Structure 1
Amino acid sequence: MRPGLIALFAVLIGVSGGSALAQSEDPVLTGFQAWQRGDYTTAYDVWGPLARGGNVDAAYFVGTLYATGRGVPQQDAEAARWIRIAAEQGHVEAQVKLGKFYYMGRGVPQDATEAARWFRRAASAGDADAGNSLGVQYNFGRGLEQDYVQAAHWFQFAAAQGYTLSQYNLGVLYSNGQGVEQDLATAAHWFHEAAERGNSSAQYSLGASYYNGDGVPQNPAESVRWMLKAAKQGHAGAQFSIGTLYEYGQGVAMNLPLAHMWYSFAALADPEGAEPYLGRVTALMTSDQIARAGALFTRCQTSDFQDCD
């Protein structure tokens, strides 16, 4: 089964101002230090006057405070106003945030075309997050005419900078032959890049590549290794697949209690898809094995997937 492209448009309002901050004056740094301490009221007291005086970094940071409700009441419209002030003066992080606000309709009317305009401005300055966002919009035809070639271009742009989501998304396009010539080896390469950086969908897809021999030598044990990494991050597809591998002893020793445990986790996300398999494996188990599976499930769940063997 080919992996499906996921678009993770998390509106993550955080302070990521490494380069911008390095060029800012000491008062902005003083506000940032207060922010790092969790003293958001002081951060606002420092940044507010600076922002009203025209400091672009301070305007962006004030916008993030209003977006998150830290030090000030949470107000999306006020957040968007301050972030726009910074974006219009060329603040790249602000341009990305404003694009996401327009994409989600947060503090501004929802407008995917306007979102793309701001993403393009930030991407032209080299921002990988903006490039990935443009790739997603081209891939799904949201605010832009659907164009897989352009999607692949922008995913490549961001992936080359180490942007994990684009690495995964580019792998999907190579796997499906969308916007690029189908190349399973290149797909597996990009899945591996993103998987190494902890992306659970890439780990699942890489596990599937090793299971099927798609672009890599078929290797059930390596498939299990990557599927387990994804399953322990809560990826339901990987949890289901690991259940199957344990049920049939593929790439790992057959273990019905562990198969039962992973099917049970998968059933939490997809009851209709996983419960028939959970019922099937349960019918093959002894009462002791069923009790063991229950204990494994509880231990794995309470340890946040740290103790699942």
Structure 2
Amino acid sequence: MTRKGFSMRPSLPQPLRFVSNGIQRRPAALALALVAMLGVAVPSAYGADDSGGALPADMEAIEKAYLAGDYETARAALIALADDSASPVVWYRLGHMLAEGRGGAQDLEAAKAWLGKALEADYADARTLLGRILLSGDESEAARAVALLGEAAAAGDATAQYALANAAMRGIGMEADLAEARRLFEASAEAGNARAQYALSQFYDKGIDGGVQDSAKALALLQAAAGQGNAWAQFDLARRLGDPASGLAPDEALADRLLKSAAQGGHPQALAIVGMQTLQGRSPDIAPDAGLAMLQASAGMGDPIGQNNLGWAYATGTGVTQDDVAAARLYGQAADAGYLPAALVMASFFEAGRGVPQDMARAVALYLEAAEKESPAALAHLGRLSAQGDLPQELASHSDHGAWLRLAALQWPDSDAAAMVLEAAQAGDPAAQLWMLEIVEARDAPEAADLAMAVGFLESAAQAGEPQAQFRLGQLFARGDHVAQDFVKAHGWTNLAAAGGYPGAREARGALADLMTPEQIAEAQAMARALLSGARQ
């Protein structure tokens, strides 16, 4: 079954991807802000001429303008030069700028025309770029795109090999073929293409095509791609440096540098994280305005974490003028994309009428959706609403209603929910009696009388034959928590829990026995038999 928002077809993120409605790219203003923030030069996608052909004299000034970030001047000069020039380099570079939308509006049709003209003059790079644009266009152009990319890939063009590998993965313009995709990624990665190295690392890490998995090779490829500045690889490597399961030695400083570099490279989640850290004052080397720009860029890319974090900025008035309506809009976008934390915030906004009209039905629906994803916070909120009498009547008999109340009482141990659990415990409900001790313990400063009452409830549940209560009571006696330490009683209650099949009880009983004399063990066993006999009667 395909879940909403997910695709069964494997896919890989790309720092720059041509799409039917334009090229996904980092806004120039953001790029310049990030350059100022990090002191890192933006690498030029414009490229230098390696064809050996003569360039018009004006090209030197155009190149200077481009490399300085003055894209409008560079583009206008190229347009003025292109009609009278016989240089395919001019046509190619103009096509590149038109395709990316640098220095003006994006114009893919004009880009294709100029690139086609450069291709007619046998300018090799035009073949690859034109193929990439066509690959993202109408389905009718996919076959030509694959043909162009195939020619360039066969000639050893690593960028074309990478693009063709993606086409093979997705079945665009050709039959989906993961083995062929891996072969092309291998060739491109070997030639030093950073995006191919990252893509291939996913193959070796996850065995996407059912082929060889090699975690060491996956890591080496990931590090190589990150070292070349691939933002996706840098983000992935930064996460691994903070994950003990990755096998990498923790390195917070390196992880921080990689994360910021990934943000500079336009990675949506890196932008969201670094931007949030900046606004919260956890990245003092970055100006707050740059942090806000990063959140805006991430949200603008449709990243739900970026939308959520920018919503937080508006909700709290951090870095922007406080605006609940703007916050609700952003949180809502992130919630619609399936981001659970944002869904919980939106539920609270609907409940309170904050930034949106008050709507308890919408709030409950969002909490229920989050509860289906096993969110403890959502379950607790449902319990809180139930205790307040704000849940629809039909939900009061929900099979998880008791669990909702328990979690609400644990979250808010002095709330109406806690009072409802206490009432049930006093009425003899074993489940409520079991829960009362952890609810009392959750208070800031539980009173001794309340703890004694809760232990009494726990003992009642244990005597009623509840294995979890028996095990918990055994732990209390073993450690001397809220009761006098007593290994005999600890062993006896743990023995009963083991007899009831409670997980871990057998092992705990064995550990206790190692601390006891044979006489104490015999006494504990007699106690357990007496308790068991009393329970049966």
The verdict on a shared fold, with TM-score over 0.5 as the criterion, is yes
TM-score (norm 1): 0.71
- Structure 1's 75 and 42: CA in aligned 2 closer, same or farther, altered over 3 A? same
Deviation at 1:149, TM superposition (A): 1.7
- Distance in 1 (CA, whole Å) between partners of 2:458 and 2:331 is 50
Structure 1: distance between partners of 2:460 and 2:424: 20
Higher-RCO chain (CA-CA 8 Å, sequence separation at least 6): 1
Query: In 2 relative to 1, CA 256–62 (structure 1 residues): closer, same or farther, beyond 3 Å?
Result: closer
Q: Distance in 2 between matches of 1:36 and 1:230?
A: 40
How far 1:107 sits from its partner (Å)? Answer: 6.8
3-state SS of 1:195 partner: helix
- Cα distance between partner residues in 1 of 2:357 and 2:448: 38
Deviations 1:95-141 (Å, cap 9, x if unpaired)? 22323443566676587664443222111111111111222232233
Q: Does 1:77 align with 2:247?
A: no
Q: How does 1:161-240 map to 2 (within 5 A)?
A: 161-214=337-390, 216-217=392-393, 219-222=395-398, 225-228=400-403, 231=406, 235-237=410-412
CA 36–102 in structure 1, closer or farther in 2 if over 3 Å, else same? farther
**1:56 paired residue among 201, 210, 231:** 231
Alpha carbons 2:271, 2:297 under 8 Å: kept: yes
Q: Which amino acid aligns with 1:20?
A: P
Tell me if 1:87 matches 2:263: yes
Aligned-residue offset at 1:166: 1.2
1:264 aligned residue = 437
The question of whether the paired residues in 2 share the 8 Å contact of 1:228 and 1:239 is answered with no
* Aligned partners of 2:440 and 2:454 also within 8 Å: no
Any conservation in 2 of the 1:203–1:227 contact (CA below 8 Å)?
no
Once the two structures are aligned, what percentage of the paired residues are identical?
21
CA deviations over 1:204-256 (Å, ceiling 9, x no partner): 2223334444262375333x724505747995338976664344349xx9435
Within the candidate set 187, 200, 217, 1:30 is matched to: 200
Assess if the C-alpha contact under 8 Å between 1:129 and 1:163 holds in 2. Answer: yes
- Aligned pairs, number: 284
Q: Name the structure 1 match of 2:313.
A: 137
Give a deviation string over 1:33-83, Cα, whole Å, max 9, x none: 454599765444222333333433333333333444746543333223223
Distance 1:197 1:281 in 2: 31
Partner Cα separation in structure 1 for residue 250 and residue 291 of structure 2: 22
**Alpha-carbon deviation of 1:27?**
2.8
Q: Does 1:20 find its partner at 2:13? A: yes
The one-letter amino acid paired with 1:31 is: S
- TM (normalized to structure 2)? 0.44
Gap change, CA 1:229 and 1:29, over 3 Å in 2 = farther
Deviates most, 163-172 or 207-216? 207-216
SS in 2 for 1:20: coil
Which residue number in structure 2 is paired with residue 96 of structure 1?
272
Q: Which amino acid aligns with 1:91?
A: H
* 1:146 partner SS: coil
Output the CA distance in 1 between the equivalents of 2:451 and 2:252.
Answer: 45
Structure 1, unaligned stretches of length 5 or more? 1-16, 305-309
Whichever residue aligns with residue 156 of structure 1, its letter is G
8 Å Cα contact 1:174/1:184 also seen in 2 = yes
Query: Mind listing any 5+ residue stretches in structure 2 that lack a counterpart?
Result: 1-9, 15-164, 167-184, 186-194, 208-212, 476-501, 505-537
The answer as to 2:472 corresponding to 1:296 is no
Which structure has the bigger radius of gyration? Answer: 2
1:186/1:215 contact within 8 Å kept: no
